[in-house]
Structure 1
Amino acid sequence: MKKIINAPETYTDDMLRGIYSANPMVKYVEDDLRCYCIAEKKPGKVAIITGGGTGHLPLFLGYVGDGLLDGCGVGGVFQSPSSEQIYNVAKEVDAGAGVLFLYGNYTGDIMNFDMAAEMLEMDDIEARSIVGADDVNSNADPDTRRGVAGIFFMYKCAGAKAAKMGTLDEVLAAAQKAKDNTRTVGFAITPCIIPEIGHPNFTLGENEMAMGMGIHGEPGIWNGPIKTAAELAEESLDTIFKDMPVEEGEEVCVLINGLGATSLEELYILSGNVREILDKKKIKVFRTFVGEYATSMEMAGASISICKMADEEMKEQINMPVHTPFYTQI
C-alpha cells in the first residue's frame, strides 16, 4: 500500500483536520471532528443533513456550503457515521424550520439516520428523511438500489429550494422530484485500497473490467474484457433508458463522474460519446457535469447519471450558484 498518510487508523481524522484548517466556512461541533457543518447558519432555513463513509470525496461532506447542504455526519472509510454524530450535527444547524436527512441507500446509514430522527423528535425538532437510490444495476427494485453519484442532483434541487426559504415539505418534494428523475450506471477497471486493510478490496485481471460495480466494491452484473468508451456509453444509456424512458425532445442533465483515478481526458471522451447518443435520439441536453462527484478512494472507473428535467423550476434549481470548499458553480 502506497498512500500519503500518517497512520491507517487516523486516516479520516487527519483528513478532517486538514479540511478544517484550510476552510473557515466549515467547522465541527461537540469536540468531534466527524460532526461536520457550516460555520454560520441562516435563521428560518430548512437544514439539510447528509452523511456517509470517508473515501468518496467530494461526496458526502464536500457538498456542505452555500446553496447546498448544512451538515454531514462523517464515518470511517466506507463506514456509517453514528446516530449521535448525525444528531449533534442536526442540532447545531437546525434554524427553526426543520431538518431534512438526505443520504445514500445503505443499511447502516438508514439505521443511524432513523435513530437520529427519533432523537430530534424528542427535542421537538421536525425531521424528514429521503434516500438516494439511483444505481440501476444494483437491484431491479428501485427501493433497494444503492445511492451513488446521482444524489448530486438531489442535493442541488433540495439545496436550492431550502436556500429560497422553502418549507420542509417543499424541500423534501424537490429532493423527491430529483430522485424520481435520476438514474446511474457505473463501471470499474481497477479496485481501491482501504487504508486500514492495506490491500485491494477486490481483484480484476489486467484487461478486465466490472460493469455495475458499487462504490464500496460491491459486485457488478458482469466482469469481462475492457470495452471502449463508446461501447460503455451505449450500454449504460441503454440500461438507464430501459428503466427510465426519455422521449425525443425531452431535456436531461448529464453527469459524467470519475471514481477517483480516472483522468479528466478519459471522462471527456466518455462525455462526448454520451452526447453523440443523446443527439441521435434527439434528446436535449440542458447541462453536462464532468469531473469527480462521488469517488471510491483511488478506484479507476466512472459512472453516467441522467436526470430528466421535469419542469422549469427544476432547471432553475440545477442552475443555482453554489459554493462549498469542494464544489463551486456560478
Structure 2
Amino acid sequence: MIPSVIDYLLQLPEAMHFAKVHELCSDGISSYRMLSDYGSGTFQLIEFENNLLLILIGDYKPKDTFEKITEISEDYMEISQFETDSSSFKIGGRKRNQVDKGIYCYLNTQKKTYTYCEGGKAVRFTKVILSPQYFQTYFKLHDENNARLLSSARDYLLKNPNLPELNFVFQQIRDCQAEGTTLKLYLESKVMELLSLVVKGIEQEQKHISVKLDYKDIRNLKKTITVMKSDLSAYPSGDELARIAGMSPARYQLAFRKHFGTTPYEYLKEMRLNQALLLLKNSDYGIATIAAKVGYHNSGHFAKLFKKAYGLGPREYRNIHGIK
C-alpha cells in the first residue's frame, strides 16, 4: 500500500510510460510526454506548498488498453472533469463503472482501485487532489465537520456532474497560460471558486421536498438520466420519463427535484450545455451543427442559453481558444 497520494502521483507518469520534458518543467510544475512506443500525448503535475493541493492535467492516447492498480493509505478527495468517456474503474470487488464526460468526485477508501483506459482512444481530464488538511486549513473545520463536508460534497457532485459553472471553472484551470507564481495563484483561486460553488450547491439542495425515496426510486430516476444522455438531441416528454421511472408525472417531478436538486428539464439543459462546451473546444463542427447535436435547432436560442450559463457566447468561447 502506498502511504500518500503524493508518493503515488510522483511515480505515476513513469509507470504510465511518460518521460519528463525538463525544458517545460519549473518549480513545482512537472511536464511529461508519453513515449511513442506506448502512445502519444502529455501529462502535467502541479504541486502547491505543503502538498495540501495538487492539480493534474492529462491529454493522451495509449496504443493499448491498460489497467492501473492503486491502493493509497492516505485520505484525500479528488474532483475531476473528464472531457472523454474512454476510462472506467472499480473499487475492490465492486462492479466496473464507466467514467462519463463531466464532473466526477472520489473519496479515497484505502481499498484497491482498478483504473482502465481503452487503447486507441483519447483520455482527457483535469483533476484537483485535495487533502483533508486543505479543508481544515482554509475552511477552519474540525475533523467531524470536515468528514461531513467531504461526504456531502461527494454526493452533491456525483448527482450533478454537468453543472455549467463547475465545468467552466475546470476549463479555466486547464486553459490557463500563465507561468510560475502567477499560474499557481490563479489556479488556487479557481480551486477556491470551485469549492465555494460546491458548498453553495449543498446549502441550496431541496431537502424540504416531502416525497420519500427508496433505493428502487433512485435507481429508476437514474434510468431516466441514462435515457436523456443517450441522445441529447432528443426531446423526451415529462410523461415519457415518468413512465420509465415507474412514477406518476407529478411524483416524478418531485422525486427528481428531491434527489438531483433541480428539474428534469434543467438537468437535461446542463448536460446539453456541457457537451456543447466540449464540442466547441474539441471539434471543428460549425456552431449551428453543435447546437443541433445537443438539441437546439435554433442556434440563436442556443447561443443565448450558452451565454447565460458561461458568461460569453459560443463564438466568443471559440475565439478565446483560437478556433475559427
Bigger RCO (CA 8 Å, 6+ sep): 1
TM-score of the aligned structures, taking structure 1 as reference length:
0.32
Q: Which has the higher helix share?
A: 2
Could you say which structure has the larger radius of gyration? 2
TM-score of the aligned structures, taking structure 2 as reference length:
0.32
